[in-house]
């Protein structure tokens, strides 16, 4: 089959790769319909995130079940599914406490990083990491369910309540999904983004159907200071800025992954303003079915501005500003195997 494989030089190349088979009794092989390019994939290529050379990349995928192992009961060939790429072992101390998202046996099980992923015609996973889609949910929407699961986890960690103001820092795909989910929880959302082109893309997404509940701002807009009952840093390097956005008793959630970021906080400010700084990570797999249900209510397909076949992977990654100083020309980019 065709697949995008990570090279030693941290590029991807289109390769002929063995098609996976359902070798274990609980294996399911899925024919991939589409796979979103995540910020993590981009980070691997620009050297900000580790991954194993030779791996098939990609983890935000939807498709159709092709083949099932002898013990699989939850799925049959032809089922339309979304993959949950956050694997866990089920037996380590974290997993036994139900904290599957903090499984300590992640090595070798990170889909698209050190376990073959979904920038390919087929992917194989254990059945518990596949979820059947509602009949009326199009793949174009379902391909954004995995980022929505991350957003939902972080919104719940911030304890967003109806009537509150949420500041979402960063107008990339994750920021936009957070904004959609937060307004669905009844919040007024202020979304910040420095890049003028992405600001415009964000405004287009929220121009219809949102009744002004989500507005887009430049990060230094004075109107933002002290506004956020909840502030979500989707970039991972904006903690100081986000503390300034927080209202009294505000909850600041660090969501973006950035291994290079550090920040200076003033402990006195934290206690005098009653602030909370919260880290929640990606999501517990228990939350994934709820993200699928939530997706029924959100026009997630509007995020996808570009679709490319696997062959055009260079153009696909170029649209995501892979080189420093180049602006983004896309919001969410999706790769299609055929
Ligand atoms: Zn992702
Ligand atoms: Zn575990």
pLDDT tens sequence across 77-119: 999 999 999 999 999 999 999 999 999 998 888 999 999 999 9
CB atoms within 10 A of CB 220: 10
State how beta strands 276-279 and 246-254 pair: parallel
CA of 91 to the centre of ligand 2 (A): 5
The whole-number average pLDDT for the span 299-324 is: 89
Neighbours of ion ligand 2 (CB under 5 A): 88-89, 92, 95, 103, 105
Burial readout 250-259 (b: 16 or more C-beta within 10 A, e: otherwise): bbbbbbbebe
Are 303 and 332 within 8 A, CB to CB? yes
Q: DSSP secondary-structure letter at 331?
A: S
Ligand 2 centre and the CA of 116: distance in Å? 19
Nearest ligand to the CA of 44 is 1
DSSP 188: E
- Kindly state the tokens that stand for 124: 């194989």
Percent of the chain beyond pLDDT 90?
A: 88
- Ligand 2 centre to CA of 179 (Å) is 31
Domain(s) of CATH 3.90.180.10: residues in the chain: 2-143+299-336, 147-279
Question: What tokens does 186 get?
Answer: 């009844």
Give the homologous superfamily in CATH for domain 2-143+299-336: Medium-chain alcohol dehydrogenases, catalytic domain (3.90.180.10)
What is the dotted CATH code of the domain comprising 147-279? 3.90.180.10
The answer to whether the beta carbons of residues 336 and 34 sit under 8 Å apart is: yes
Given this model, what pLDDT does residue 324 score?
60
Task: Give the tens place of pLDDT for each residue, 143-176.
Answer: 999 999 999 999 999 999 999 999 999 999 999 9
Q: What ligand is nearest to the CA atom of residue 283? A: 1
CA of 102 to the centre of ligand 2 (A): 7
The pLDDT tens digits for 267-289 are 999 999 999 999 998 999 999 99
Three-state SS at 210: coil
Distance, CA of 233 to CA of 265 (rounded, Å): 15
Query: CA 102 → CA 156, 194, 289, distances in Å?
Result: 17, 32, 19
Average pLDDT of the segment spanning 20-38: 97
Tens-digit pLDDT profile for residues 191-224 = 999 999 999 999 999 999 999 999 999 999 998 9
Report CA(235)–ligand 2 centroid distance (Å): 27
Pair of tokens at residue 270: 């934290």
Confidence of residue 14 (pLDDT cuts 50, 70, 90): very high
Tokens of 325: 């100083």
pLDDT digits (tens, 9 = 90+) for 60-77: 999 999 999 999 999 999
Pairwise CA distance, residues 18 & 186, whole Å: 47
């Amino acid at each position: 089959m065709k697949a995008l494989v990570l090279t030693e030089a941290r590029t991807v190349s289109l390769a002929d790769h063995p098609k996976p088979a359902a070798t274990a009794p609980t294996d399911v092989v899925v024919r991939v319909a589409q796979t979103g390019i995540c910020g993590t994939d981009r980070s691997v290529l620009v050297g900000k995130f580790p991954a194993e050379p030779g791996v098939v990349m990609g983890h935000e995928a939807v498709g159709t079940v092709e083949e099932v192992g002898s013990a699989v009961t939850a799925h049959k060939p032809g089922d339309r599914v979304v993959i949950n790429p956050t694997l866990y072992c089920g037996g380590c101390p974290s997993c036994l406490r139900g904290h599957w998202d903090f499984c300590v046996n992640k090595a070798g099980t990170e889909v698209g990083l050190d376990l073959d992923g979904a920038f390919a015609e087929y992917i194989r996973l254990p059945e518990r990491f596949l979820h059947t889609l509602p009949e009326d949910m199009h793949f174009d929407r379902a391909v954004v369910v995995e980022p929505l699961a991350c957003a939902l986890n972080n919104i719940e960690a911030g304890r967003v309540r109806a009537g509150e103001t949420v500041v979402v820092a960063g107008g990339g795909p994750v920021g936009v999904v957070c904004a959609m989910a937060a307004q669905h929880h009844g919040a007024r959302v202020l979304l910040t983004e420095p890049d003028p082109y992405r600001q415009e893309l964000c405004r287009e997404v929220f121009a219809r159907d949102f009744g002004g509940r989500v507005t887009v701002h430049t990060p230094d807009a004075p109107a933002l200071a002290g506004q956020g009952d909840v502030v979500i840093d989707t970039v991972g390097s904006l903690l100081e800025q986000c503390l300034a956005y927080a209202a009294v008793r505000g909850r600041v959630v660090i969501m973006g992954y950035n291994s290079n970021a550090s920040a200076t906080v003033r402990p006195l400010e934290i206690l005098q303003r009653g602030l909370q700084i919260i880290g929640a990570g990606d999501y517990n797999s228990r939350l994934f079915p709820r993200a699928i249900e939530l997706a029924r209510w959100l026009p997630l397909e509007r995020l996808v501005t570009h679709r490319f076949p696997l062959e055009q992977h260079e153009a696909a990654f170029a649209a995501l500003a892979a080189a420093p100083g180049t602006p983004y020309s896309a919001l969410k980019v999706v790769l299609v195997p055929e």
